[in-house]
Amino acid sequence: MLTNDSHRPVPEGVVLQEEQQVHEPSSGRGRRHGTSRSEPFDRWFRYPAGFASDYASLLLGELQLPTAGLVVDPFTGSGVTGTAARRAGHSFFGVEAHPLIAELAALKLRRSPRDPSELLVTARELAQQATTKMRVDISGEADLTLRSFDPETLALLVSLRDLIRAKQDQEWYLYLKWALLATLRDVASVRVGWPYQRPGTQRQPTFADPVSRFLQRVAWMADDIRDLEKYKSASLTCRVKQGDSAESENWSDIGNGSAHGCVTSPPYLNNFDYADATRLELYFWGDVTSWSQMCAEVRSDMLTATTQQSSVGAARDARISLQEYGAVGAQISELADQLQKERGNRARGKEYDRVLPDYFVAIARILGNLASVLVPGAPAVLLVGDSAPYGVYVDTPGLMAKLGAQLGFTLEKDVILRHRGKRWAGNATRHNVQLAERFVLLRRE
Ligand SMILES: C[S@@+](CC[C@H](N)C(=O)[O-])C[C@H]1O[C@@H](n2cnc3c(N)ncnc32)[C@H](O)[C@@H]1O
């Protein structure tokens, strides 16, 4: 059996690439936790994407899809697969659970309303008004917002926000909103990088002037929109549906057997909370005003991938549903048993045992929906990492492939792209394994 430099054997069927046995995708140019800072459209807002558009383009090129095909993504996020598909001349349909992020993806994939020079003119007018306006009252802002910026910066951000909100019925409204939302982390005076916002830890803002940074962001948007002319095709349609991709009705906008390929990056089983990760933007814009509202409204359509989302009832139901999936269902249940035992050994153990069944049942439903919309022979690429909560190794990509095999897919490739989580390797209290991000290629039968 092949081995890599980790403490565990390579899971059955996994191919190790090249001499150093790991292939670092040429994506994101230095990206660590999200979309590229420089690629067109990616740069509109940094989101933990799994891959950047240059890598998604590379993949789409290698999948040999038919000309002007339909590409789908059940975990659309900020729309990286969508923008890459459009650039390659394909239509796109994606489902994204996070309402704010679904709005961003849909915006990036919109046909441009008009000449973006108008966007620039409007932005400059708003910037002028924000800087000359009487200083606004910031005392009613959310605690996280107040703690994240120095008062002068926050006053300018709030001025801009209020001016933009007043333009809600105008066609450039969402572009202005997102240029401002993306400016927040650039000008914050506390740690606000991914994955978590740390309002207790001060830092030097990356950019001092929020207004000029906002205008810079608007200018990038205008450049990217203008560039769309190059690959505009009247017959292409790109759509994003906000909702849960495990629900078949969220796929009803496209017919069964209508899609030619899928490139996606599902949430990893690593306790990363996509709602919490965007707390700063949600609070600043006023979409949510409390943690409970965020859980109810932002997280509600997401699959369970964190212990915070888990519940006894959902886990019990999922255990029953797992029985539909034969040997792989039993394997997932066994892992959940091991995790339950590990939790019992700890004073305040986390409920990974409740996350696991719920997560994989949702993945199975999503793979089932994908199988319905893909044409026979279509490829589906999943980029996903494995995990090892409490040292119990969960071969997430391998288990997904096994579930796929029950739902009309054949596993064609399973390749390690890069090692990750190195800092935990060898740490007995965390993961005593070398984790990896993998590329899984399934083929619709
Ligand atoms: C790794 S990210 C994918 C990011 C994406 N590649 C991009 O371009 O930004 C996973 C995404 O899946 C979304 N998600 C989680 N559960 C979902 C579900 N049941 N249906 C649809 N989207 C879901 C999360 O909100 C998150 O945005």
Atom number in ligand 1 closest to CA 268: 1
Element (H, E) at 380: strand 379-385
In percent, how much of the chain has pLDDT > 90? Answer: 77
Give me the mean pLDDT over the 320-347 stretch: 97
- Cβ–ligand 1 distance for 75 under 6 Å, the answer yes
Q: What is the rounded CA–CA span in Å between residue 317 and residue 313?
A: 6
Give me the mean pLDDT over the 288-297 stretch: 92
CA dist 291 → 99, 214, 278, 304, 339 (Å): 16, 28, 12, 17, 27
- The DSSP annotation for 383-437 comes to EEE-B-GGG--B-HHHHHHHHHHHTTEEEEEEEEEEEE-GGGTT-TTS--S-EEE
- Cβ–ligand 1 distance for 96 under 6 Å, the answer yes
Give me the mean pLDDT over the 176-192 stretch: 96
The answer to whether residue 25 sits within a structural domain is no
Pick from 150-154, 227-231, 288-292, 351-355: least confident:
227-231
Atom number in ligand 1 closest to CA 246: 19
pLDDT band at 21 (very low <50, low <70, confident <90, very high): very low
- Cβ–ligand 1 distance for 359 under 6 Å, the answer no
pLDDT band at 443 (very low <50, low <70, confident <90, very high): very high
CA dist 220 → 18, 44, 78, 87, 97 (Å): 37, 8, 16, 17, 27
| Range among 44-58, 265-279, 392-406 rated most confident | 392-406
Number of domains making up the chain: 1
| DSSP 3-state of 201 | strand
pLDDT value at position 13? 54
The Å distance, Cα 73 to ligand 1 centre, comes to: 9
Give me the mean pLDDT over the 376-405 stretch: 96
In percent, how much of the chain has pLDDT > 70? Answer: 88
- Cβ–ligand 1 distance for 78 under 6 Å, the answer yes
Q: Is 409 a residue whose pLDDT tops 80?
A: yes
The Å distance, Cα 212 to ligand 1 centre, comes to: 31
The answer to whether residue 153 sits within a structural domain is yes
The Å distance, Cα 50 to ligand 1 centre, comes to: 9
Q: What is the rounded CA–CA span in Å between residue 436 and residue 417?
A: 7
- Cβ–ligand 1 distance for 85 under 6 Å, the answer no
pLDDT in tens, 5-20: 333 334 555 554 443 3
Dihedral angle sign, alpha carbons of residues 427, 433, 434, 435:
negative
Q: Is 193 a residue whose pLDDT tops 70?
A: yes
Per the listing, tokens 């002319």 go with: 229
The Å distance, Cα 166 to ligand 1 centre, comes to: 30
Cα of first residue to Cα of last residue in the chain, in angstroms, is 28
Q: Which of 43, 73, 300, 302 to mutate to test the pocket of ligand 1 (most atoms within 8 A of CB)?
A: 302
- Cβ–ligand 1 distance for 28 under 6 Å, the answer no
- Cβ–ligand 1 distance for 369 under 6 Å, the answer no
pLDDT band at 48 (very low <50, low <70, confident <90, very high): confident
The answer to whether residue 167 sits within a structural domain is yes
Q: Is 32 a residue whose pLDDT tops 80?
A: no
Q: Which residue range is the domain that position 156 belongs to?
A: 117-229
- Cβ–ligand 1 distance for 281 under 6 Å, the answer no
The answer to whether residue 163 sits within a structural domain is yes
Q: Is 76 a residue whose pLDDT tops 50?
A: yes
The Å distance, Cα 363 to ligand 1 centre, comes to: 12
* pLDDT greater at residue 229 or residue 178: 178
pLDDT band at 198 (very low <50, low <70, confident <90, very high): confident
Atom number in ligand 1 closest to CA 80: 8
The Å distance, Cα 76 to ligand 1 centre, comes to: 5
* pLDDT greater at residue 34 or residue 1: 34
The answer to whether residue 205 sits within a structural domain is yes
Question: Quick count: other Cβ atoms within 10 Å of Cβ 9?
Answer: 11
Atom number in ligand 1 closest to CA 301: 19
Give me the mean pLDDT over the 425-441 stretch: 71
| DSSP 3-state of 272 | coil
Q: What is the rounded CA–CA span in Å between residue 163 and residue 415?
A: 49
pLDDT value at position 299? 95
Atom number in ligand 1 closest to CA 79: 8
The answer to whether residue 173 sits within a structural domain is yes
The answer to whether residue 254 sits within a structural domain is no
Q: Is 70 a residue whose pLDDT tops 80?
A: yes
Q: Is 404 a residue whose pLDDT tops 50?
A: yes
- Cβ–ligand 1 distance for 77 under 6 Å, the answer yes
CA dist 418 → 194, 393, 399, 422, 436 (Å): 19, 17, 19, 11, 6
Closest by alpha carbon to 314, among 344, 349, 351, 354? 354
pLDDT value at position 268? 92
The answer to whether residue 155 sits within a structural domain is yes
Pick from 197-206, 295-304, 413-422: least confident:
413-422
Pick from 50-64, 149-163, 244-258, 298-312: least confident:
50-64
- Cβ–ligand 1 distance for 303 under 6 Å, the answer yes
Atom number in ligand 1 closest to CA 34: 9
- Cβ–ligand 1 distance for 95 under 6 Å, the answer yes
Q: Is 28 a residue whose pLDDT tops 90?
A: no
- Cβ–ligand 1 distance for 97 under 6 Å, the answer yes
The Å distance, Cα 48 to ligand 1 centre, comes to: 9
Q: Is 85 a residue whose pLDDT tops 60?
A: yes
pLDDT band at 329 (very low <50, low <70, confident <90, very high): very high
Q: What is the rounded CA–CA span in Å between residue 416 and residue 47?
A: 23
Q: Is 118 a residue whose pLDDT tops 90?
A: yes
pLDDT value at position 384? 94
